[in-house]
Amino acid sequence: MATVVDSSNPKSDFPIQYRELNYLNCSKGWKSWFFTLDHKRIGIMYLIGVTCAFFLGGLFAVLLRTELLSPARILLSADGYNQMFTLHGAIMTFLVIIPGVPAAIGNIILPVMLGAKDVAFPRMNLGSFYLWMFGAAFFLAALALGGLDTGWTFYTPYSITTSTAVITALLGVFILGFSSIFTGLNFIVTIHTMRPPGMTWFKMPLFLWALYATALIQILATPVLGITGLLLVVERAFHIGIFDPALGGDPVLFQHFFWFYSHPAVYVMILPAMGVVSEVIAVHSRKHIFGYRFIAYSSIAIAIFGFLVWGHHMFVSGQSKVVAVVFSAITFSVSIPSAIKVFNWLTTMYKGSIRFTTAMCYALAFLFIFSIGGLTGLFLATLATDIHLHDTYFVVAHFHYVMMGSSLVGLFAAVHHWWPKITGKMFSEFWGRIACLGVFLGFNLTFFPQFLLGTRGMPRRYYTYLPEFQNLHILSTCGAYLLGLSSALMAATLIYSVYRGKKAPANPWGGASLEWQCSSPPPANNFDHPPLAGDPYIMESVVYNEEIGGYVPVECQGAKKGSVTASGDKEA
Amino acid sequence: MNTAATTTTDDHADSHDHEHHDPRLAHHFDSHQQQFDTGKLGIWLFLVTEVLFFSGLFGFYAVYRSLHPEVFLYASQFLDTVLGAANTVVLLFSSLTMAWGVRCAQLGQTRGLMVCLVVTLACAAIFLGVKSFEYTEKAHHGLLWAGMYHSPEHHDAAAADGAAGAGDHAHDEAAAAGDHGDDELFEKTKHTLSYMTTVLWVVIVISGIALGLLFKNPNKKTLATVAGCVLVSAAGMVIGAYSSIGYHHFGHAEKPTDEEILMAETVPAEYAAQKEKVPEPKLAGTFFSVYFCMTGLHAIHIIGGMIAISWLIVRTAHGAFTTYYFGAVDFVGLYWHLVDLIWIYLFPLLYLIN
Amino acid sequence: MSDHVESDAHAENPQSCHVHVVPVKVLVGVFLALVALTVVTVEAAKFDTGSLDVIVSMAIATAKATLVVFIFMHLWYDKPLNRLAFFFSIVFAAFFLCMILLDSHAYDDYVKGFQQDQAAIAAPAAAPAAAPDATPAADAPATDAPATDAKAAPEKKTEPEAKPAEK
Ligand code: HEM
Ligand SMILES: [Cu+2]
C-alpha cells in the first residue's frame, strides 16, 4: 500500500514505469468510463464496440456462407439472404472497418505516440463515440423494423421502392458519418497543434502520417455521404425527384454521390492499416524503416488520388465513355503509391532481424493478402475486363482481400502490437500465432475460390447458383468457418490475457517511438513532461534488459533501475 | 470545465508542473494562445465539412439546372425577389453585428458583446419569420417539391391530383380564376401564419413573464437569460412574419405595375399574364424540390446558429469571456458567417433567374 | 514549460491571446458594400443578358462572399493553414460539381429516353431497370429517338450488358 501512496506523489523520484497509477485504475465506477474525456478510455470503449459489431457481422457472414453450401434453400429465404448480406456489409463497413483502426486504436495510440496529453477536443472525442453508439442503435433498429435489402450501397431506384427500413438505416449511416468526421477533425487538429517541442513532421511515426491522411479523407468525403443519405431519406419520405426516375430524377447521380464518398472511404479503411504495418514491420524487424519519406508522402498521395477515381465503380452504370476512360487511367495510377509502400516494407525486412511475433505474423499476412487484393483491383480497373467481372464474385473477392484481409488483419496486427501498452498485460504468443495462422488460412480458403467463381460468371448477391459452382462454394464456406473459429480464438487469447496475462514491461517489443517510453498502461496524463522526440525508427536506441523483461533506452542499460525513466527525463 | 473523471486525474498531474488553475484553460493545453489556435483550426475544418455538405445540394442544383434550364426559368418567377432581398440584407446585418460582437469580445467589452449578440439573434429570427411566410404561401399555392407539386395552372382545384396533366384551360379563364383564387389563398396563408404567430405570442408572453420574474434574482441568471433569448427569437419571428404579410398586402393594394411583374411576384394573376411567354415545363416541381431542400437545410443551420448564439448570450451574462478567452464567440461567429455565405449564393441562384 | 511548436511564442504570458482586431469602420464599410452589391445583383437580374445571367450573378455573389470571408471571418489576417483548408474545400467541391455535371450531361439522353419509354409503352417491365446500363440493347432505338431535340449528339450505346444489374 505504501508504494501506491508514494508513487502517486509526483514529487517522488520513483520512476514513472513503476508508478502504480495508470489510466485504467486512476478512477473507478461506470461514470468514470461513460463520461471520461481520456482518449485512451474512449478508445477502449470504441474497441469493445467494434469487436461486438465485428462478431455480429461475422455471425451474419457465417449464415450467408452456410446458405451457399448448396444451391437449394438451407437456412434463409431469398429475401432473408438479401437482408443478411446487406446488414453484413453495412455493419462491417460502417461499424467495424471504418472506425476500427482510426477511432479505436488511433484514439488510444495517437496522442501517446505524438507526446501529447490528449487529443485536441476531448469532449468531441467522447461525442464521436456516442454518435457511433447511436448510429449502431439505428442499424439495430433497422434490423428490427424489417431489415434492409438494398445492399450496403443503397443504389437507387431500388432503395426508393423497397419496403424495408431504408430510412432508419440511412439515418444510422448519417450519424456514423458524423462520428467519423469528428474523429478525423480531432486527429488533424491534434497533429497540427499538439505536437510537443522537437516533434517535427518528419519525426512523426508513419502511423501518425497514415492517420493524418485518413483524417483528411474523413473530413473531405464524409460530409458528401451525409448529404447523400439525407437526400435519399428525403427522396423516400417526400419524393423530391432527385434520384427517382419516375419523377424525372437521375439514379446514376446517386451512384456519383455515393462513390464520391465510398471510394475514398475504402482508403479510410486501408490507410490506417498501412500505417500499422509500417510500425509493426519496422519494430519487429528491428530495423529502421526503409524510405520513410516515401511512405509518408504516399499516404498523402493516396488520400488525394483516392478522390479522383470513384467512377471505377460505375463503368457499366451508363457513365459516359470519356469519364470512364479518365477514371480508369487515374485508378491505375492510384495503385502506384500503394505499391511504393509494399516495396518499402519488403526492403525494411531485408536483412532485418525478424521475430515472428503475433503482430509480425499478422503484418506478413497483410503483405501477402494486400498484394493480391491490390493487384486484382487493377483487373477491375481495366475497362474491358470489368465489363465481364463487374458484379461477380471476383469483385467480392477483391474487396474482401483488401477490406477483410488487409484492413481487418491490419487491425489485428495493431491490437496485438499495442495490446501490452493498452492493457498492461502480455498475451500468449503461442495461441496468438495459432490464431493468426488460422485467420490467414481461413481467409484465403474463403476468398480465393471466389476469384475463380467470379471469373466463371457467378454473380454476386445471389442466394442460389448453378450446380457447377458448388464445389468452390463449399470450399469457401469451410474457409469461413475456419476464419470464424480463428478470430474467436484470437479474441479468447486476448481476453484471457487481461485476467491471467503476465504484466507487460513498458517496452516489450523494442519500439523507439514515444508510446513505448511511458509505462504500460500509460498514466492518465500520458506524460508529465513533454517527451523529447527523436527519430522513431532508430531501434538501436533501446536494448533488451533481462531484469525488466523488456527494452530500455541504451543510456539506462547497466545503470540502476531508478534511472530508467520517462523520456522527459531521459537526457537528464 | 472537466467532468469528475478527469478532475481526479488532474489532481496528481497538474500539481507540479502546471501552476495554473485557470478554469478557462483546458488541462491539456499549455497556453491560451495554443487553446485558441487549436479551436480555430478545428472550427475551420468544421466549416470545410459544411462546405462539402452543402456541395451535394449545389450539385443537385447544378445538374438539374443545366439539364432543365426551362424549369428553373419558369418556376423561379414564383419566388418573391423583394422578400428574398430583404432577407439577404437582414442576414448581412446579422453578420455585421456578429463580427462586431467578436471585436467587442476581443477587446473585453462585455456590454457591447451582449448587445451585438442579441441583435444577431433577433435578425436570425426575423429571417426565419420571413421564410415561414414564404413557405406557407408556397404550400398554399401547391408549389411544393416534385412529389407534392400542384401545377399553378389548376391551382384553384388544388385539392385535385396535381400530376402535371396538360391543362386545356382557356387562358383568360385561368387568369380570372387566378385573380380570384389568389385572394383566397392569401387569406389561407394568413390563417396558417396566424396560428403560428399565436403560438409565438404565447411564447413571447410566457418568456416575457419568466424574464420579468427572474431578472432580479441573481441565482437564476442562466434561466433568465434563456428566457430572454426565447423572447427575442419569438418576437423576431413575429416581426418577420407580420412585415412580410404587410408587404404582401401593400403589393396587392395597388394595381401591379409592369415592374412588379418583371420582378416575378408570387402572384399567379401576374403569372397568368406571363404565361404565354413561359409555358409550364414538365418537371416544374423539381425546382421546388431544390428550393425546399436548400433553403430548408439552410434554415436548419440558422436554427442551430440561434441555439449557439443563445448559448453565447448565457455565457456572456455570466461574464465568461475575457480578452484572452473569447474563442467561443469567434468560432460561433465563423459558423454564422458561413451560414450567411451560403445564403449569399442561394439568393441569386434561386430568386434571380431570368 | 517551454513554448509550443505552432503557437508562436507567447509562453511568457499564458494569459494572452494575440489576434487581429478589425476596426469598426471597416466592418461597417464591408456591410454597406455588401448591401450595395445585393442591390446591384437584384437590378442586374432585371436585364435579360441571356446566358451571361448566371455568370454575372455568380460573380457578384463571389465578390460578396470574398468580402465576408476575408473581413468578417478574418481569413485575411488568419494563419495560412486555415486559409488553405478553406480554399481547398472550395476547390474540392468545385471539382465534385464539375465531374457530376460533365457526366450527367453525357447520359442525359438515356434518361430522357427512359421517360419517353415509360410514357409510350405503359409496360412496367423496364421499370426496375431504371439505370440506363440495364436497359438492354433492345430499346436502343427508342433511346436514340428523343435525342433529336437535344443539343448534345447522343453517344451510341455500346455496352450491351449481359450481366444482371446491381439489384
Ligand atoms: C490498390 C488499388 C485498388 C484498385 C485499382 C481497386 C479497383 C477497384 C475497382 C475497379 C472496383 C470496381 C469493381 C466493379 O464493381 O466492377 C473495386 C471495387 C471495390 N473495391 Fe477496390 N481497388 C483497389 C483497392 C481497394 C482497397 C484498398 C479497398 C478497401 C479497403 C477496396 C475496396 C473495394 C470495394 C469495397 C469494392 C466494391 C464495392 C461494391 O461494389 O460493393 N479496393 N475496386
Ligand atoms: Cu473504389
Residues, CB within 5 angstroms of ligand 2 (ion): A 263
Share of chain B above pLDDT 70, in %: 75
Domain identity same for C84 and C96: yes
What was the pLDDT predicted at C122? 54
Q: Among all chains, which residue has been given the C-alpha cell 493553414? A: C81
What was the pLDDT predicted at B30? 80
- Confidence category of residue A32, pLDDT binned at 50, 70, 90: confident
Residues on chain B touching C79 (C-beta within 8 angstroms): 37, 40-41
Q: Per the structure, how many domains does chain C have?
A: 2
Could you tell me how many helices (H) and strands (E) chain B has, helices first?
A: 11, 0
pLDDT at B208 over 90: no
Give SS3 for C22. coil
Domain identity same for C72 and C107: no
The string of pLDDT tens digits covering residues B282-338 is 777 888 888 999 999 999 999 999 999 999 999 998 888 888 888 899 999 999 999
What was the pLDDT predicted at B128? 92
Whether C15 is in a domain gets the answer: no
**Least confident range of A278-292, A433-447, A517-531:** A517-531
A471: left (phi over 0), alpha (psi -120 to 50) or beta: alpha
For residue A335, the CA-to-ligand 1 centroid distance in Å is 11
Q: Can you give the C-alpha Rg of chain B in angstroms?
A: 25
- Min distance C125 CA to chain B CA atoms (Å): 22
Determine the structural domain holding residue B279 and report its residue range: 31-161+170-351
Return the closest-CA partner of residue A27 out of B2, B22, B28, B15: B2
For residue B64, the CA-to-ligand 1 centroid distance in Å is 30
Strand partners, A553: A542
Ligand that lies nearest to the alpha carbon of residue A309, given by its number in the listed order: 2
B198 versus B183: the higher-pLDDT residue is: B198
Indicate the residue among C57, C78, C99 that finishes a domain: C78
What was the pLDDT predicted at B13? 39
Domain boundaries, chain A: 33-556
Q: What is the mean pLDDT of residues B190-200?
A: 77
From chain C residues 41-60, the ones with a CB under 8 A of any chain B CB are 41-42, 45-49, 53, 57-58, 60
Share of chain B above pLDDT 90, in %: 30
Domain identity same for C50 and C72: yes
C148 versus A390: the higher-pLDDT residue is: A390
- Confidence category of residue B215, pLDDT binned at 50, 70, 90: confident
What was the pLDDT predicted at A92? 94
Nearest CA to ligand 1 atom 33: A399
What was the pLDDT predicted at A430? 95
CA distances from B300 to A257, A318, B195, B241, B296 (A): 22, 35, 21, 18, 6
Give SS3 for A317. coil
Whether C10 is in a domain gets the answer: no
pLDDT at C127 over 60: no
Return the closest-CA partner of residue B122 out of B270, B317, B305: B305
What chain A residue is nearest to C118 in terms of C-alpha separation?
A: A246
Q: What is the mean pLDDT of residues A311-326?
A: 88
Determine the structural domain holding residue C32 and report its residue range: 20-78
Residues on chain C touching A151 (C-beta within 8 angstroms): 166-167
Mutant choice from B63, B344, B351 vs C, greatest count of C C-beta within 10 A: B344
Nearest CA to ligand 1 atom 26: A402
Whether C104 is in a domain gets the answer: yes
pLDDT at A3 over 60: no
Whether B59 is in a domain gets the answer: yes
Whether B11 is in a domain gets the answer: no
What was the pLDDT predicted at A318? 81
d(CA B309, CA B333): 9
Do the Cβ atoms of C4 and B347 come within 8 Å?
Answer: no
- Min distance B246 CA to chain A CA atoms (Å): 32
Q: What is the mean pLDDT of chain B?
A: 76
The string of pLDDT tens digits covering residues A462-482 is 989 999 999 999 999 999 999
What chain A residue is nearest to C103 in terms of C-alpha separation?
A: A320
- Confidence category of residue A495, pLDDT binned at 50, 70, 90: very high
pLDDT at B218 over 50: yes
Q: What is the mean pLDDT of residues A84-104?
A: 93
pLDDT at C156 over 80: no
Do the Cβ atoms of C5 and A392 come within 8 Å?
Answer: no
pLDDT at A205 over 80: yes
pLDDT at B89 over 80: yes
pTM of the model: 0.85
Which amino acid is residue C93, in one-letter code?
A
pLDDT at B59 over 80: yes
pLDDT at C130 over 50: no
- Min distance A542 CA to chain C CA atoms (Å): 26
By the 8 A CB rule, do A91 and A148 touch? no
B119 versus A535: the higher-pLDDT residue is: B119
Do the Cβ atoms of B56 and A189 come within 8 Å?
Answer: no
Whether B20 is in a domain gets the answer: no
The class (CATH top level) of A33-556 is: mainly alpha
Q: What is the mean pLDDT of residues B51-66?
A: 90
Give SS3 for A460. coil
What was the pLDDT predicted at C151? 34
Give SS3 for B245. helix
Assigned C-alpha cell, B321: 469571456
Do the Cβ atoms of C7 and B37 come within 8 Å?
Answer: yes
What was the pLDDT predicted at B120? 95
d(CA B57, CA B339): 14
Whether B24 is in a domain gets the answer: no
Query: How many other C-beta atoms can be found within 10 angstroms of the C-beta atom of residue B173?
Result: 10
What was the pLDDT predicted at A20? 61
Whether C92 is in a domain gets the answer: yes
C79 versus A435: the higher-pLDDT residue is: A435
Share of chain A above pLDDT 70, in %: 94
Backbone angles phi, psi at C158, to 5 degrees: -115, -10
Q: What angle do CA B15, B12, B31 make, to 5 degrees?
A: 50
pLDDT at B203 over 90: no
What chain C residue is nearest to B87 in terms of C-alpha separation?
A: C38
Which long-range contacts does A41-44 make (Cβ < 8 Å, 24+ apart)? A41/B5, A42/A107, A42/A125, A42/A126, A42/A129, A43/A103, A43/A104, A43/A105, A43/A106, A43/A107, A43/A108, A43/A109, A43/A422, A44/A108, A44/A422
Whether C4 is in a domain gets the answer: no
pLDDT at A497 over 90: yes
Candidate of A269, A395, A400, A451 to mutate for ligand 1, largest count of ligand atoms within 8 Å of Cβ: A395
Do the Cβ atoms of C103 and A319 come within 8 Å?
Answer: yes
Question: Measuring from each residue's beta carbon to the nearest atom of ligand 1, which residues come in under 6 Å?
Answer: A 153, 266, 269-270, 312-313, 331, 335, 338, 374, 377-378, 380-381, 386, 389-390, 395, 398-399, 402-403, 407
Whether C45 is in a domain gets the answer: yes
Do the Cβ atoms of C163 and A316 come within 8 Å?
Answer: yes
What was the pLDDT predicted at B154? 55
Do the Cβ atoms of B52 and C92 come within 8 Å?
Answer: yes
Whether B17 is in a domain gets the answer: no
Return the closest-CA partner of residue A519 out of A483, A569, A453, A446: A569
Return the closest-CA partner of residue A377 out of A418, A335, A432: A335
pLDDT at A378 over 70: yes
Q: For the domain that residue B84 is a member of, what is the CATH number? A: 1.20.120.80
- Confidence category of residue A368, pLDDT binned at 50, 70, 90: very high
Q: Per the structure, how many domains does chain B have?
A: 1
What was the pLDDT predicted at C107? 75
